[in-house]
Structure 1
Amino acid sequence: MVRHTFLFARNTMLTAMRRLAGTWFAKALFLLLILSFGIWGIEDVVRKFGTDNAVARVNDEAIELPEAQLATRREIARIQRQVGSSFEITPQMSQQVARRAVENLIMDRVQRQEAERLGVVAPDQAVQNYVWSIPAFQGTDGRFSRLLLDQFLRNNGLSEPEFLALLRADLQRQQLVGAVRAGAAGPDALTKPLLMWQGERRVAEVATLPLSDAPEPAAPDEAQLRRFHENNPERFSAPEYRRVTVATLSPATVAAEVQPSEQDLRATFEAHRAQFETPERRTLEQAVMQSREAAEKIAADWRGGASFADIEREAQAGGGQALTLGTLDRSSVPVPELADAAFALGADGVSDPVQTPFGWHVLKVTGIEPGHARSFEEVREQVADDLRREKAADLAYERANEVEDALAGGATLEEVGQRFGLPVEKVTIDARGQTQDGKPADLHLDASGRDVALRAIFAAEPGQAPRLAEAGQVGLFAFDLQEVIPAALKPFEQVEDQVRAAWMQDARRRSQEERAAALLGAVKGGKSLQDAAREAGLTARRVGPFSREPDQQGANSPPPELLAPLFATAPNEATMAETADGFAVGQVVDIVRVNPDADPLGLGRVRSEVEQAMLGDLEAQYLEALRRNAKVTINPTMMGQVSAR
């Protein structure tokens, strides 16, 4: 009975549901269920619907987070190359660098979009020529070096397509701003006063009071010396010293491990054969005439035995000129037609007239230096040295990764040095790299790398784990700071002689300062400097006319410390300044002004300087206008995720 009742209820419910399924209410209910299950499966997508994951947008073109982070890291690397790899990035600095990197990306987008709008392009050939013209990519032979380019790309974390894209964008930018810069012109209202200011000369009477001429001060007693010693601790203190262990890694430290094979040496020689070849060179004389007939006459006379002096007179008489070109190889002759003519002649040969935009040329070969190609055996050692340096740089780069891994794993510098053959020094040094006995410590780094390492050592705190850092272009270093020995005032007894000498020198300085002030007061009271100096037992000399720039010889110029004060002083007024060896007092007696209209060359130079400054301002204003007119949005949330790490 119960079973039948259950079956009846079930059938009744199914029948009701079938009827309900045909209604609009049921269809809406099922649609809602389907959507809820679908949303449950794609929850992350729906949750982000309506949000923007780009760090910034420029006219709807996105700057994504990975691109912004990469640009930030490159900006950090650029800063560290300039100020040293010991430069530590604080969170606040990281934020500022990230904002700057993103702003650079925004300006890149703005300029590129404007170039596309105007149809500005940079052809592949122009990009290639641009790359080949960069001095950093040219080898010792002055030619493009693929090796140097690859090294640059590796050091900057760039792929070749990325680098070429950057250059292409830069070429487009140059075309954009070039059109804007072309319109600048320096007005006379600005250039003439500037030329007058630059060209102004002054004549002055100058009296110098060197410390060596000061009266001998009375000898100080011990109390005076001790007081002077205590009041000037910076002059009599031992510097701060730091006890450190330093390990260095550079191509020089691993060079002994590099032994190029015979096959490598010959392959390198073949790849760089051109730099071992000396091209043929010819000593050339040339006459340039304005007509073919005059040039043919010159050629005929030259072949007939006329001397160069005769040809020179004949060319001048005919409205042309003759000159000696010197000894040149083919590539050094600027006009291809002239190069072809010159290198087709034999010794003492004279060419037929050759026409160029400059006129009709006649060339004579007065000497030939045959070309020479050095053999592999001749340059074997040079090739080996170059290859060793190259491979040592690569090996040092690979070794750096191993050293970093070892340090990260907790190895000490001594263990790292022993494992990888690195020089390790335990030293106690001051900020100049001097040991406590006054000798320079050997840190196995060149001058620039040494400076970087010293700055890092004296910026560190004890207890920091050693890490590998760049020291200049090719060196790396790591250090472990064990102890900081603070600067301390040396005992009086230890530096008594130094204190006495410094006290005497200071007394002489005060004496000469008082005499200079009295001399200045006398001139301000109405006396000439000549009269005031004579009364004080001094000598005043007249100097000038002199310019605002110091005279290297100093014979006709005041002491450099007195120059600016004299140019800020009115005629017949006086001023004084402390110099490297004492004091000087000067009185302006004449001002020699320039007439800008009488100096067209000077006016042209100043106008060029003004125009260059104006060009920079025009470019900045143009780029600012492009930035302002572009639709730029920055996502603060995503911007906070951009990191320099």
Structure 2
Amino acid sequence: MAAGMKNLSKTFVWILMGLLMLGLAGFGATSLTGTVRTVAQVGNEDISIDDYVRELQREIRAVESQTGQPLQMSQARDFGLDQLALSRLTALAALDNEVGLLGISIGDENLQEEIVSIPAFQGPDGSFDREAYRFQLEQVGMTDTEFETDLRKESARTIVQDAVVSGVEMPSILTEVLTDFVGARRSFTVATVSPEALAEPVATPTDEQIQAYYDENQDQFSLPRTKKLTYTILSPNMLLDSVEVDEDSVLRLFEQRADEFQQPERRLVERLSFSDDAAAQDAMAQIEVGGTTFEQLVRDRELELSDVDLGDVTRDDLGDAAEAIFAAELDTVVGPLPSVFGPALFRINGSLAENNTPFEDAAPALREELAADRARRQIEAQSEDINDLLAGGATLEELAAETGMELGQIDWTRASQDGVAAYDGFRSAAEAVQDGDFPEIAFLEDGSIFALRLNETLPRRPEPLESARDRVAVAWTQVQTDKALEDHANAVLEQLQENGDFTTTGLPHRVENALTRTAFLEDVPSGFMPEVFDMELGSYRVVPGAGVALIVRLDELLPPAETDERRQVQQALAAQLNQALAQNIFDAYVRDAQARARPVVDQQALNAVQASY
């Protein structure tokens, strides 16, 4: 009987092995049968399974490095990384096929020069290291033959790319037009119509006007998605009165932090060191006669002020230089004085007086700090027992009754910041909690513990007029005020079109000269400058805004200023446009080569690779 069972087991194992081999054959038998080695053919070029796997891994690792999370194959497909890897390899294969048809290649000597010049393959002395070469290739899973073939192809592709894009330039007129557009300038006169310019303020809205505005603009008066939560919390502050702190502990803490409570007189100092006394004395002499400044000396050494800033220092920090520095006036330079880096000049930027806090003054804060620390440890010790009560089925209400935790409720939204919602940990938990979740203990930033329960989720909804009434009235008043300001500005504009004299308007006005499109002006609407550049020379325009209306007259059209900055921008723009045009031409060339190569994709092989990833 046992022998029969043994034979049956062997038969069953061979059946399983046969099914496995059959499945691997359909897969491509990547490591057993070796029947499928390519995923696509592009003209005379093949895309191997190894190349596809490497490219797919590269795309996946790029996403993982950005997100910091591992990426599954299913997610990679959702992101389209499988198609991205295949399309890139197909384009390269099409270009390789084109290179082959053109008969372009590099010689062995050129290939050798390329390899030995790669820093990763060089030893400590900078010469080619064969062991480093072999090691680096092993790290990426390539043989030397595969790498050299790829490098030969890459060099040939570069030759073709240079031939296609060499000498490509965008017409200079485009660069000039774009630069002129960005650098164009306008001079204009602008008058401000503020609420003070109105004959009388806008009247208080009636109930009918408030209701009508509310009905027409309910999207402005809505309540956000709200979670109605019940919570319990136990904070260190709730236990402070019950925590005892002995006087000896307070005194020990005071002594441990003596540097905080016994602070000697200090100076804010910058130090510039020199190689010898002669150089330091010469620099000090130049400062004294006004030939240079401390800042200039720092810049001459190609340093920043932050590099020579010592911060606040005591007499002990300064050593033998202390007496002269502490005796000097503020904002003066003294020296040369000795320092750990040789003779130096010191600039005194500030003075901090001695600050000694007696134990009696520091004790209350230290006692509270110790009490809070002990309260946090006490809460941490209780947290496991409290969590066990929740796990045993206790409600938050029962938990509060048994443990002394504080019970509360909150209508929580993402804008909530008050009370318990001021804690980041509580806001995160409130955001994550779902209907049906069981409460559990969690810690907050200050050592508090809490648990919460979702009672109800209210969707975004209109706010009742009763609670929104004041804001509706304010919004209505703002709209009516803006309309009145615009009407008044239009009336003044008609007057200006007749006499052109801004002084007769009684409005505050100013002249702005030679401003570009990107110029920043205070107290103007965000779209003000585009409005100005849309105007005709000598024309007037009213530009309405929130709580203001502006009357503008365009006085002058000016070309871009001929500056070094403009020339640099134009050169950079020309280089960018040339590069974009060259890239577009080369992309078109590759697409044409790919179309002529007629790529054939083995979808079964692709599926097998992705399934085994």
TM-score scaled by structure 1? 0.46
TM-score, normalization by structure 2: 0.48
